[in-house]
Amino acid sequence: MPVVLVMISLDFLAQPAGFDLGETGGWLFDASQPLWQAMLIGLSNTLRVSMPALLLALLLGTVVGMGRLSTEPVPRRLAGLYVNSLRNVPLLVQLLLWYFLLIECLPAPNEALHLLPGVWLSKGGLAFPWWAPEAGGWSLPAQEAFNVQGGAAVTPEYLAVAVSLSTYSAAFVAEVVRAAVASVPVAMVEAAQTLGATQAQVRWRVVLPQAWRAAMPPLSNQVLNLIKNSSLAVAVGYPDLVSVGNTALNQSGKVLECMGLMMMTYLMLSGLASLVMNLLGRHSRTVASQ
């Protein structure tokens, strides 16, 4: 009886992709370019959304985490509410909520909201000024008949993914920050105060370096989580690595190959992120021991 064997081969990656990508993040791409380039753009889209989200999550998380530690009841309660409401709802639900909020509630692209000078928000996305050397300076977006033209723009898909990823991860980062600061023994602070250190010195020279060291390992986890969670982008049509990989998988029928490629790519991304976090952690240890 003939047995159909699915042979593993990556030759198909050199074939023309045959599909277009809605967002390429500045790269030029059309359907006649090979599949591997489409996959690379998927990877670039993953990075393009997770890196800013990571930065935002760390900033917002630190602020909320400090809020949790505040002696003032109002910021403490607000921060507590933030953490508990965001980390207890699945990310996919939040992502879809953000996405449908954006595309249901925003005005059409031909009547965009003018948020700030040069910043427009509509169902077509968020347009903002961008440095355009070929135009000899900043390119400012402006409202035209059908939509907003000029500057740079990100789509509602991008916005939904970036916002939900960063706000969700920030809740976890906040807890990491809170735990790390709380882990510094009170005796350390008291000792510093006895030695006559000022409030600022206590915070910057005593508490934060030690808290930083305690925060690094759990923070690495959050960074890895955020990068991996960006794969949920597929639910709202953002062409990230998984979305492009899925399309490639379907068009070529190479299930194992495409899944394998996606897995390897995430593995490498996570490995790289861990490496960076470890380096930062080592740096903090040497700083703290000085």
Partner 1 sequence: MLLSTVAHAGSVLDGVRQRGQVRCGVSTGVVGFSAPETANRWKGLDVDICRAVAAAVLGDPEKVSYTPLNAQQRFAALQSGQIDLLSRNTSWTLTRDASLGFHFVAVTYFDGQGFLVPKKLKVSSARQLKGAQVCVQAGTTNEKNLADYARRYQLNLKPVVFESFEAAFKAFFAGRCQAYTTDASGLASVRNKDAPNPDDYLILPETISKEPLGPMVKRGDDEWLAAVRWSIFALLEAEELGLTQANIEARKTDTDPAIQRFVGGGEDMGKLLGLDKQWALRIVKATGNYGEIFERHVGQGSPLKLPRGLNRLWTQGGLMYPPPIR
Q: Does 129 bind partner 1 (CB under 8 A)?
A: no
Q: Does 237 bind partner 1 (CB under 8 A)?
A: yes
CA angle 221, 226, 232 (to 5 degrees): 135
CB of 160 to partner 1, least distance (A): 11
CB of 143 to partner 1, least distance (A): 16
Count interface residues toward partner 1 (CB under 8 A). 36
Q: Does 21 bind partner 1 (CB under 8 A)?
A: yes
Q: Which tokens go with 81?
A: 């509410």
CB of 246 to partner 1, least distance (A): 5
Q: Which tokens go with 92?
A: 């996919």
Q: Which string of b and e fits 86-112 if b means at least 16 CB within 10 Å?
A: beeeebeebbbebbeebbeebeebeeb
Longest dimension (CA), the chain: 87
Site string for partner 1, 58-87 (x = CB under 8 A): ------------------------------
CB of 142 to partner 1, least distance (A): 17
For partner 1, give the closer residue by CB, 22 or 185: 22
DSSP-derived pairing of the beta strands 125-128 and 130-132: unpaired
Single residue of 253, 268, 275, 278 touching partner 1 by CB under 8 A = 253
Q: Where are the beta strands (DSSP E) in the chain?
A: 113-116, 119-122, 125-128, 130-132, 137-139, 142-143, 148-149, 152-154
**Neighbour-count burial of 50, counting CB atoms closer than 10 A to its CB (0-12 exposed, 13-18 middle, 19+ buried):** buried
How far apart, in Å, are the Cα atoms of 5 and each of 14, 15, 208, 256? 22, 21, 58, 12
Q: Does 3 bind partner 1 (CB under 8 A)?
A: yes
Q: Does 26 bind partner 1 (CB under 8 A)?
A: no
Q: Does 1 bind partner 1 (CB under 8 A)?
A: yes
Q: Does 42 bind partner 1 (CB under 8 A)?
A: no
Q: Which amino acid is at 258?
A: C
Which among 2-10, 56-64, 72-80, 112-120 is the span making contact with partner 1, rule CB under 8 A?
Answer: 2-10
For partner 1, give the closer residue by CB, 11 or 134: 11
How many Å separate Cα 185 from the centre of its chain?
33
Which among 15-23, 40-48, 60-68, 218-226 is the span making contact with partner 1, rule CB under 8 A?
Answer: 15-23
For partner 1, give the closer residue by CB, 3 or 187: 3
Binders in 147-186 for partner 1, by CB under 8 A = 155-157
Q: Which of 273, 48, 19 is nearest to 159 (CA)?
A: 48
Positions in the binding site for partner 1 (CB under 8 A):
1-4, 6, 18-22, 30-32, 100, 103-104, 108, 123-124, 155-157, 234-237, 239, 243, 246-247, 249-253, 255
